[in-house]
């Protein structure tokens, strides 16, 4: 008598053929490729929009992670404003529990004013905003966080290093609908939320280190975005407080509170 096999999950589920699996894999690959193309296209549109603005301004809230020698992650929070008039004018402020700094660039000189210390410093940097950002980073070792977003060609600054792209769909930042993308490079992972519509500006930008233990992050959230002649109220002239002491510009740096440094140097 032939043996009767009981019904089991294995015998009741029809396995797809290799051809069917190949078709499904192809569909996933096609979808992923289309999503990546959309992400790159929309990022390029944001870059083009930013480059086309002769003037823009915004306010921001930012957080910066520090990793202590004990591998504890601590976060510093600050807020500020940014005003840009292309090609060679910029003003920015940053206020937090550890800093109250104003920076003004007039096309020739970058002036730092440390209000809490009643001190100021100057750096001669003739040229445009791109040159200013490069000089501060490469010569003075003072990179401005998220400064790539202020440069004339954001796409050319960021895309060549990208090794992986993910389209994460929609998100909402400050009540604004955004396209949300994640990008990877060898050194950092970064995400950006880009406003949907005729003004595709960055609404949120997060950078995560892949080379520092604890993967510390810097995040900037943009609000009150304005573009055009009415966006910039500054005349890009630095106001030096009465009695302020002129110091080396490198001396105007964030001095972390003792309870943030703990022991050793934070990363």
Asked if the model's pLDDT at residue 133 lies above 90, the reply is yes
Asked if the model's pLDDT at residue 229 lies above 80, the reply is no
Asked if the model's pLDDT at residue 11 lies above 50, the reply is no
Asked if the model's pLDDT at residue 51 lies above 80, the reply is yes
Most confidently predicted of 27-31, 221-225, 263-267: 221-225
Which of 195 and 142 is assigned the larger pLDDT? 195
Asked if the model's pLDDT at residue 75 lies above 80, the reply is yes
Instruction: For residue 19, name the pLDDT band (cuts at 50, 70, 90).
Output: low
Most confidently predicted of 141-145, 197-201, 212-216: 197-201
* Number of alpha carbons in the 13 Å side-chain half-sphere of residue 208: 12
Q: What per-residue confidence (pLDDT) applies to 32?
A: 56
Q: Nearest CA to 190 among 201, 181, 198? A: 181
Q: What per-residue confidence (pLDDT) applies to 174?
A: 97
Which of 91 and 98 is assigned the larger pLDDT? 91
Average pLDDT (142-148) is 88
Q: What per-residue confidence (pLDDT) applies to 140?
A: 86
Q: What per-residue confidence (pLDDT) applies to 49?
A: 98
Mean of per-residue pLDDT scores for the chain: 85
* Domain ranges for the chain: 19-256
- With a CB cutoff of 8 Å and minimum separation 6, the contacts of 141 are none
What does the block give as tokens for 233?
Answer: 């109220």
Strands 100-105 and 89-96: antiparallel
Beta-strand ranges (E) seen in the chain are 55-67, 73-85, 89-96, 100-105, 109-114, 119-124, 164-173, 176-184, 188-195, 202-209, 217-227, 245-246
DSSP per-residue string spanning 127-170: S-HHHHHHHHHHTSS-PPTTGGGGSS-HHHHHGGG--EEEEEEE
Which of 214 and 63 is assigned the larger pLDDT? 63
The percentage of the chain sitting over the pLDDT mark of 70, rounded to a whole number, equals 81
Q: Is CATH 2.60.20.30 correct for 19-256?
A: no
Asked if the model's pLDDT at residue 13 lies above 60, the reply is no
Distance CA 148, CA 199 (A): 18
């Amino acid at each position: 008598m032939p043996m009767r096999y009981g019904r089991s999950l294995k015998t009741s589920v029809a396995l797809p053929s290799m051809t069917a699996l190949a078709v499904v894999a192809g569909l996933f690959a096609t979808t992923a490729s289309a999503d990546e193309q959309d992400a790159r296209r929309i990022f390029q549109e944001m870059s083009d929009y930013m480059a086309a603005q002769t003037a823009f301004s915004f306010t921001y809230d930012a957080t910066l992670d520090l990793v202590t020698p004990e591998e504890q992650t601590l976060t510093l929070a600050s807020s500020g404003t940014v005003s840009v008039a292309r090609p060679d004018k910029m003003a920015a402020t940053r206020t937090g529990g550890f800093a109250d700094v104003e920076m003004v660039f007039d096309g020739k000189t970058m002036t730092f004013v440390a209000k809490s210390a009643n001190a100021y410093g100057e750096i001669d940097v003739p040229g445009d905003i791109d040159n200013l950002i490069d000089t501060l980073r490469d010569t003075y070792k003072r990179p401005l966080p998220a400064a790539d977003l202020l440069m004339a060609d954001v796409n050319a600054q960021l895309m060549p290093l990208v090794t992986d792209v993910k389209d994460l769909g929609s998100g909402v930042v400050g009540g604004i609908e955004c396209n949300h993308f994640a990008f990877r490079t060898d050194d950092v992972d970064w995400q950006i939320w880009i406003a949907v519509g005729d003004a595709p500006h960055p609404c949120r930008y997060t950078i995560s280190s892949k080379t520092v233990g604890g993967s510390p992050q810097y995040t900037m959230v943009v609000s009150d975005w304005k573009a055009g002649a009415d966006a910039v109220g500054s005349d890009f002239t630095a106001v030096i407080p009465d009695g302020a002491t002129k110091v080396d510009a490198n001396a105007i740096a964030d001095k972390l509170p003792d309870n943030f440094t703990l022991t050793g140097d934070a990363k």
